[in-house]
Structure 1
């Protein structure tokens, strides 16, 4: 990731708590001064996503592309690609972006596209990860930051956090503790990419 400016584009669908953690890390850890890096834009597939208002308040460019207004997944992804490319990103961060992306989209941003998943991949790909971990009797859950490939929830693992499953945990209580760790490891993974490692 050479060049003076390293732009980060973050995609969200909801409150954007991981997005906010990354924006705060960029400020507190001086990514602009250290890496020439900044969060250039936050983009959502939902016009009413709460995270858009928060990002806008931080002075970050925002955009919303309502996926329901596009005739196909491919057409939506093409429009999304165009919107992202306007910011010339070094890193594209999926932060609670609840869309399965087309192979063309993934290929276009190859080696620049990362995601966070609420399990210790390769275990529990897909949805309902916390309940599945509890149902299987796992002693540990966690979160994984990984590069995005055309295969769902696969790709090189960049960071992981382990969270113990406590007796009496529900999917909701476990999810809350995992999310707290996501807010630690996602900024760390982005920073490592910016640093070239």
Structure 2
């Protein structure tokens, strides 16, 4: 009898409202993502993302960074929680803490993030405001493997939208977020299907650098 492979098990790290977490939950429920969320971990006890998970019966855990003497001790507890739930993949979904090099190395190739810009442009904070200040005509979101550089690491997929003449940082954020909700579950499904591999610092999807989707979507 052929071995039955269990679904990709995700540990999601969150700090805020969890809209990308909800997009992942919805994609799993809708059959668009072959995965299960083993645990949702937050450093903020009041994070709305925890309520989203609990309403779906997903285990949650609070690991408050202020309860630990340093970043290394905090990340060690995160690691313990992730391992206790036998996670295959660690998904950052609005997790507002810098991770230590040791944590990143521990989960190398199994740690992914989504950032609201077309990396490597505008890493870090205020990406929408900075994009408008720079006068770019195209903006968007990026799913990437995490490395020790802030919002660095090999790019898995990107979604781009045109910047409109009357855009503000707030309107741009709303339009980019809608694309994040489409992009993140799709990229996670590629990982679930084993369609990705790293080669010379680049992510290949089905052996090709160009992922099979249009890059610019209506925004």
TM-score by length of 2: 0.85
CA contact (8 A) 2:117 2:142 kept: yes
- Runs of 4+ aligned residues of structure 1 deviating over 2 Å after TM superposition are 2-6
Match of 1:147 in 2: 145
Deviates more, 1:128-137 or 1:4-13: 4-13
Change (3 A) 1:190 1:163: same
* Distance apart, 1:5 and its partner CA: 4.4
Root-mean-square deviation (CA, aligned residues, Å) is: 1.3
1:25-44, aligned counterparts within 5 Å?
25-29=27-31, 31=33, 35=34, 37-44=35-42
- CA distance in structure 1 between the aligned counterparts of 2:103 and 2:138, rounded to whole angstroms: 33
The separation in 2 between residues aligned to 1:108 and 1:6, in whole angstroms, is 18
- Match of 1:155, SS? coil
Q: Secondary structure at the match of 1:116?
A: strand
The alignment partner of 2:12 has SS state of strand
Gaps of 5+ in 2: 196-219
* Partner Cα distance (2:36, 2:20) in 1: 15
- CA offset digits 1:135-180 (Å, max 9, x no partner): 0110111000000001111111111010111112111110010000
Partners in 2 of 1:5 and 1:194 — Cα distance? 8
Give the aligned partner of residue 8 of structure 2: 6
Q: Distance in 2 between matches of 1:96 and 1:125?
A: 14
Which structure 1 residue ranges, 5 or more long, are not aligned? Answer: none
Deviation at 1:69, TM superposition (A): 1.4
- For the residues of structure 2 that align with 1:12 and 1:115, how far apart are their CA atoms? 11
Partner of 2:112: 114
Q: How many angstroms apart in 1 are the aligned matches of 2:11 and 2:119? A: 24
Partner of 1:94: 92
**CA offsets, 1:109-157, max 9 Å, x none?**
1111000011000111111110111001101110000000011111111
Counterpart Cα distance in 1 of 2:27 and 2:39:
15
Match of 1:170 in 2: 168
User: Aligned pair count?
Assistant: 192
Secondary structure of 1:138's match? coil
Q: TM-score, normalised by structure 1?
A: 0.94
The equivalent residue for 1:186 is 184
Query: Which of 60, 73, 76 is residue 75 of structure 1 equivalent to?
Result: 73
Question: Structure 2 vs 1, CA of residues 5 and 28 (structure 1 numbering), >3 Å: closer, same or farther?
Answer: closer
- Is the 2:118–2:139 contact (alpha carbons within 8 Å) kept by the matching residues of 1? yes
**C-alpha distance in structure 2 between counterparts of 1:162 and 1:93, whole Å:** 21
